[in-house]
Structure 1
Amino acid sequence: MPENRLDEIDRHPRTLRPRSAALVICDLQEAFRPVTIDFDAIATRIATLVQGLKLLDVPVLVTEQYPQRLGRTVSSVLHELGPDVMVLDKTAFSCCGASTFTEQLEKSHAWQILLCGLEAHVCVNQTAHDLIVRGHQVHLLLDCITSRTEQNRQIGVEKMRLAGIIPSSVEMALFELMRDAKHEQFKAIQELIK
């Protein structure tokens, strides 16, 4: 009898699967650094998440809201993404409002979307709703979203919960994707999140 039966049984449909998942980093841009709550901590957590997802071969999509005015994605995250990741410009608040985003998402074949970035009550909120209506399962990384005020963050999260998002976090997502301490990347990912 196999030691680990997780590959033999169906898992709950709300748990992440590496071949079904993709990360969307929504508008983590320099212009928001001085005006949003916990920006630096969130950028650090997202950079850590990107490192872990690279080890697990989970695709990452990145958007920038009107970068000519709001600047680029924070350098620490861009560094972890590497030169091959396409950063997608947009003017619509929802990432789904950019045809380049929806095209890249379709190419990824992901139906489980890890969603993070800012602002929680604007671009993240509208993206979550639009992804859900398109049939995606949205795992909202609550430790990787922010807004300019805590009230707006809370209202955004509540509205997304009512729409059907699945609350998650960096650690929760990485451990769900690995499933087992015997995963070949377990030790490397454990080091990342210590």
Structure 2
Amino acid sequence: MSEASRTRLFDRDGAALVVVDVQEGFRGYSTFGDVAAACGRLVEGARILGVPIIATEQYPKGLKHTAPEVGLPDDAEAVEKSVFSAVRADGFNLAGRNQVLICGIETHVCVAQTALDLLDRGVAVQVVTDAVGSRHAHDREVGLRRLERAGAVLTTVEAALLELCERAGTPEFKAVQKVIL
């Protein structure tokens, strides 16, 4: 992937939001509440902007389902997986999207492997740093460094959603502004 394709602005027509494994089984992590809330802001912003949302659940029989504060739309069915990379799970489909905002748990395992597989397939990836977490802070930091070296762009909830808005003054911008404030 060229440097230009990695750094170009994301747009609503090309982007999808991938929410990786923000499940009840991880609620004991010290950062879980913050990560789940940030993922919830991304989900709400994506819904407002018409960006498709793909959620995954790692072994839901043991780790349970997506936390309610993520606010998945009623019509969003999580892709169940036992592989670490969501890309390798049955049912994972970007539906032609070539840009992915990725958030979730764990940064250094499922988020990283999903992002790396997407990058290998030529998909532009932005990792939303305030919406990813790991059980240990060191694992999160190493995962983010690895992903950035591999070509993912690091961003934040606010930056990502405002990038997708493209301009102020629209009804969508006003609705997203309420989500990020």
What TM-score do you get using the length of structure 2 for normalisation? 0.93
2:90 is matched with which residue?
99
Q: Displacement of 1:160 after TM fit?
A: 0.6
Within the candidate set 79, 83, 90, 1:88 is matched to 79
Query: What is the RMSD computed on CA atoms of the aligned residues?
Result: 1.5
Report the secondary structure of 1:18's partner residue.
coil
Equivalence map 1:1-194=2 (5 Å): 14-34=8-28, 36-77=29-70, 80-101=71-92, 104-105=93-94, 107=95, 109-194=96-181
2:3 is matched with which residue?
none
Report the secondary structure of 2:13's partner residue.
helix
| Alignment check: 8 A CA contact 2:102 2:128 kept | yes
User: What letter is aligned with 1:162?
Assistant: R
Q: What is the percentage of aligned positions where both structures have the same residue?
A: 40
Query: How many pairs were matched up?
Result: 177
| Alignment check: 8 A CA contact 2:127 2:154 kept | yes
**Matches of 2:33 and 2:86 in 1, distance apart?**
22
Q: Displacement of 1:97 after TM fit?
A: 1.4
In structure 1, stretches of 5+ residues that fail to align are: 1-11
| Alignment check: 8 A CA contact 1:37 1:146 kept | no
What whole-Å deviation, never above 9, does each CA across 1:120-151 have from its counterpart, x for those lacking one?
Answer: 01101111110000110000000000001111
**Matches of 1:71 and 1:14 in 2, distance apart?**
37
What whole-Å deviation, never above 9, does each CA across 1:22-70 have from its counterpart, x for those lacking one?
Answer: 0000000011110x23110111111111111111000000000000011
- The runs of 4+ residues in structure 1 deviating greater than 6 Å are none
What whole-Å deviation, never above 9, does each CA across 1:43-100 have from its counterpart, x for those lacking one?
Answer: 11111111111110000000000000110000122xx322211211000001011131
